[in-house]
Structure 1
C-alpha cells in the first residue's frame, strides 16, 4: 500500500483503538465501584458478637497443689463422694420423728409451776441446806438444791436399819427383846424413855424406832442380828451399795454418829426402797402408839409433826437430828392421795424450818401435779 494511503488510514485506526480501550475500561471501573460499595457496607454494618464457648475444667482439690498430678478416687471414695442425702430420706424422717418425740415428752414432763408459787423468790425462802424432790412415777427431778452434797443424816439412818432387820431371818415379831447397857448412847449421851431392862416385842421395837426415832430400840434391833452389830452395820453398807447409794456410809444403826452420811439425792433411793416393806409403811406414818414395856406402858407419838397432824399425806417418812446434821426430814408424799413424790430435806437449822419447807413443797406438788 502506498505511504499516502497508510497515513490516511491511521486516524481511523487510532479512533478504533481508543474506542476499544474505553469499552474495556468501563467494566473494570464498574467492578471497582461495586467492590468499593461492598467495602463501605461491611464497614458500616453492625458487628455480630461472638459466642463465648465455656470450657469445663475439672475441679481442683484445695488440699492439692495446683501443679500436682491428678489422681482418680477409688470406687469406695467415689461412692462416698456422690452419696448425698435427699430431702425426705428415711434418716431425715427419723431425725424429725425423734425430735418431735423429745419435744412431746418435754411438754408433758411433770414440773413445778410458777403459778403455784414455785418462783425464785419462794425457793430462796426454803430453810433446808440440801433438797431433792422427784416425781416417782416418771423419775423426773422436780427440784434440787445441793442434792449431791454429802452430809450427816442422823436418824434417817433408821430406815436402813428397818430394811436390813426385816431382810434378816429374825425371830418372830411377837417375841420380846430386852434393852441392855449395850444400847446406851455413849456418843451423844442422849436420853431415852426405855430404861435398861425394859422388854418390848420386836414389832414394838421396830414401831417406836420408826415412828418416834427411839434410839435404844434401834440399837436393840441391830444386836438382834446374826453376827451381832458388826455384821448388821456391814449389811447396812452392802444394802446401800446395792441400791446405788455410792456416797452413803453407816457406822451404827441409830444415826447418832456424824459418820452416818448420805446425799439428798441418794436418800430418795432409800425412801423408795423402804416403801416396799409394809411394816415400814405402817409404822413410820402411825400417829401414836401405846407400848407395854414390862414395867408399865409408854405413849409414843410420831416425831414428824406434818404427819402427826395430818398436814401431809405420806406413805413413808423419817426425821432426824444431831448437831452436826441439823434437822432432816424425808417423805414419800402421796399427791392427791395417789401420785407419789419423794421429798428429802437436809440441814435445816430448826425443826420449824424443816416443817415449813415440807408444807411449802407439798403445796407446790399438790398444785402442779395432777
Structure 2
C-alpha cells in the first residue's frame, strides 16, 4: 500500500508539472515539479516583504459598534507616496544655483523704481522662462484696450476646458457670465476657463487674440516674450523679468486692471448661481501693504511666479519674481525685498540708491543679456 501511495504521489507531481518540464525530471538534483512549486511559494521572509511593500498599503485597526456590541475592524489604507521633486525650466538650466544677498527663494528677481525706471535689484532678469498665469495680465490688457463690451454675456464651451494640464474649474460648460465678470475672476482668482473664453470671444477668435498678444509684446519692447494661449497653461508662454516689468507698468495705467487684480474677493453670477472667488495673492488683504497691481502664476515648468506694483516708503516700485520654490515663497520674497528697500532708502537717497543696484546673474547656456 505504501508503494502504491508513493507512486500515486509521484504521478500527481508529474501531472502538475508543465509538459515541457516533465522531460527534465532530474536537473541538478531537483524535480521539475519541485522547481515549479518553489517559484510560486516564496520564503516566509520574502512573502512578508511583498505584503509590506504591496502598493505601499497598511492595515488600520478601528473599533465599531454593531448592534450594541464592540467589533474590531481592520481596514487597508493606501499610504501617501513620497513627493517627487519636479524640476522647473529654471532648474534645468541651473538658475536655482544662483545666490543673492537677500537669500531669495526665487531663481529670478527684478525690482525697479516705477517713476525713474532705475533698476534697484536684478537676478537673472534677462532669461526667458515659462510665466504661467502671469500671461493673464496681457490677456486683461488686450480686452480692456480693445474696448470690448464688458456687459456682453459669454458662454463657457468645451473649447475653454483645459486639455493641456487638465486643471479643474468651477465654471461648468454651458455657464453664462458677462465679459466683465470673466475678466475679473481671470485676473483676481486666475480662473483658466474665464481666460480661455475671453480669448475665444475676441474678434477673429483665439488665434487672432494670441497674435494680438504677441503684437502688443513687440510694441512694448518685450523682446524675450512669446505667447501661445490666453491662460498661461502652456509652458510655451515665456518671458523675462525685465519684459514683465514693462507689462506691469503699462497694465498699471488701466484703472480696471488695478481694481480687478487687487480685489481680495468677488462674487459672480453664472447661470443663476452665485460663485465666490478669492484673490490668489493674500498680500492684497494685508493692511501694511499698498499694492496697486499684481498677478500670480504657477505651473510645474514655471515654478511660483509673482508680478506686483506697490508703494514702499513713498516709492512706487515694480517687483517681478519667477521660478520661486515653495507655495508661499514668492510672497515671502516680496516681503524680504520690501524690508531691504525700507532699510536702503533712509541710508541712501533714492538717486544714489538707483546708481548702485544689486545685480546677480547666472551663466545660462543659449541665452544672452538684452
TM-score (ref. length: structure 1): 0.65
The aligned counterpart of 1:211 is: 188
Cα deviation digits, residues 137-174 of structure 1 (max 9, x gap): 1111111000111100000000000111112242x212
C-alpha deviation, 1:361, in angstroms: 0.8
In 2, are the aligned partners of 1:181 and 1:196 still within 8 Å (CA)?
A: yes
Cα deviation digits, residues 158-194 of structure 1 (max 9, x gap): 0000111112242x21221111111000100000111
In 1, are the aligned partners of 2:111 and 2:320 still within 8 Å (CA)?
A: yes
In 2, are the aligned partners of 1:268 and 1:343 still within 8 Å (CA)?
A: yes
Please say if 1:130 is aligned against 2:108: yes
Cα deviation digits, residues 244-267 of structure 1 (max 9, x gap): 000100000000000000001111
Please say if 1:361 is aligned against 2:337: yes
Query: Which consecutive unaligned segments of at least 5 residues does structure 1 have?
Result: 1-119
The structure that is helix-richer by fraction is: 1
Please say if 1:142 is aligned against 2:117: no
State which of 146, 152, 157 in structure 2 corresponds to 1:168: 146
State which of 132, 135, 139 in structure 2 corresponds to 1:154: 132
The structure that is strand-richer by fraction is: 2
Please say if 1:253 is aligned against 2:265: no
Structure 1 distance, partners of 2:260, 2:293, is 9
In 1, are the aligned partners of 2:187 and 2:260 still within 8 Å (CA)?
A: yes
In 1, are the aligned partners of 2:265 and 2:278 still within 8 Å (CA)?
A: yes
Structure 2 distance, partners of 1:121, 1:188, is 32
C-alpha deviation, 1:339, in angstroms: 2.4
C-alpha deviation, 1:219, in angstroms: 0.6
Structure 1 distance, partners of 2:116, 2:161, is 43
Q: How many positions carry a matched residue from both structures?
A: 249
The aligned counterpart of 1:340 is: 316
Cα deviation digits, residues 220-273 of structure 1 (max 9, x gap): 110111100000000000000010000100000000000000001111001001
State which of 199, 221, 232 in structure 1 corresponds to 2:198: 221
Please say if 1:282 is aligned against 2:229: no
SS in 2 for 1:351: coil
In 1, are the aligned partners of 2:102 and 2:336 still within 8 Å (CA)?
A: no
State which of 191, 195, 200 in structure 1 corresponds to 2:177: 200
Larger radius of gyration: 1
Matches within 5 A, 1:1-370: 123-170=101-148, 172-336=149-313, 338-369=314-345
Structure 1 distance, partners of 2:257, 2:338, is 21
Distance 1:122 1:311, change over 3 A: farther
RMSD between superposed Cα atoms in Å? 1.6
Query: Which consecutive unaligned segments of at least 5 residues does structure 2 have?
Result: 1-97, 347-370
Structure 2 distance, partners of 1:271, 1:178, is 29
SS in 1 for 2:106: coil
Structure 2 distance, partners of 1:199, 1:310, is 35
SS in 1 for 2:222: coil
Structure 2 distance, partners of 1:181, 1:144, is 42
Structure 1 distance, partners of 2:205, 2:287, is 38
